[in-house]
């Protein structure tokens, strides 16, 4: 399953990053097409928005075990932020550890509470 944090969901909606693009990004990562593995369960993936190439488009950070757990946790546009700081990365790695350690029941509760949003299957 693919999820996004509430914060990420708001940001994605604001810039027009829809669930079909998130699903496509996960498929690409499964094929090892990602920008960088930042360690601690965090990977960076560029996602092109319609009408824009990947170079000038969005960067997303996911918490993942690269198998069956995918959490979009942070996103930014390169024209706004060049990259995240070491302090931000450390915080995201802690968040990744928490998310990746959640049981299915805990994930269900987080979705019900709204802190996690399930990515809608576009198939």
pLDDT of residue 104: 95
Per-residue pLDDT of the chain (123 residues; tens, 9 = 90+): 899 999 999 999 999 899 999 999 999 999 988 889 999 999 999 998 877 655 557 999 999 998 999 999 999 987 777 788 999 999 999 999 999 999 999 999 999 999 999 998 765
Instruction: Convert 25-61 to b/e letters by CB count within 10 Å (16 or more is b).
Output: bbeebeeeebeeebebbbbbbbbbbeeeeeeebbbbb
pLDDT of residue 33: 85
Residue 69 near residue 63 (C-beta atoms within 8 A): yes
Reading the block at residue 69, the tokens are 């757990």
pLDDT of residue 34: 83
């Amino acid at each position: 399953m693919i999820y996004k944090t509430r914060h990420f969901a708001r940001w994605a909606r604001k810039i027009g990053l829809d669930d079909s693009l998130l699903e496509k990004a996960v498929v690409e990562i499964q094929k090892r097409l990602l920008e960088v593995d930042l360690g601690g369960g965090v990977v960076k993936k560029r996602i092109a928005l319609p009408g824009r190439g990947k170079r000038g488009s969005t960067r997303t950070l996911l918490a993942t075990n690269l198998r069956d757990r995918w959490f979009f946790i942070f996103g930014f546009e390169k024209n706004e932020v060049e990259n995240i700081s070491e302090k931000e990365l450390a915080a995201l790695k802690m968040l990744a550890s928490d998310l990746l350690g959640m049981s299915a029941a805990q994930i269900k509760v987080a979705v019900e509470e709204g802190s996690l949003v399930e990515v809608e299957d576009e198939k």
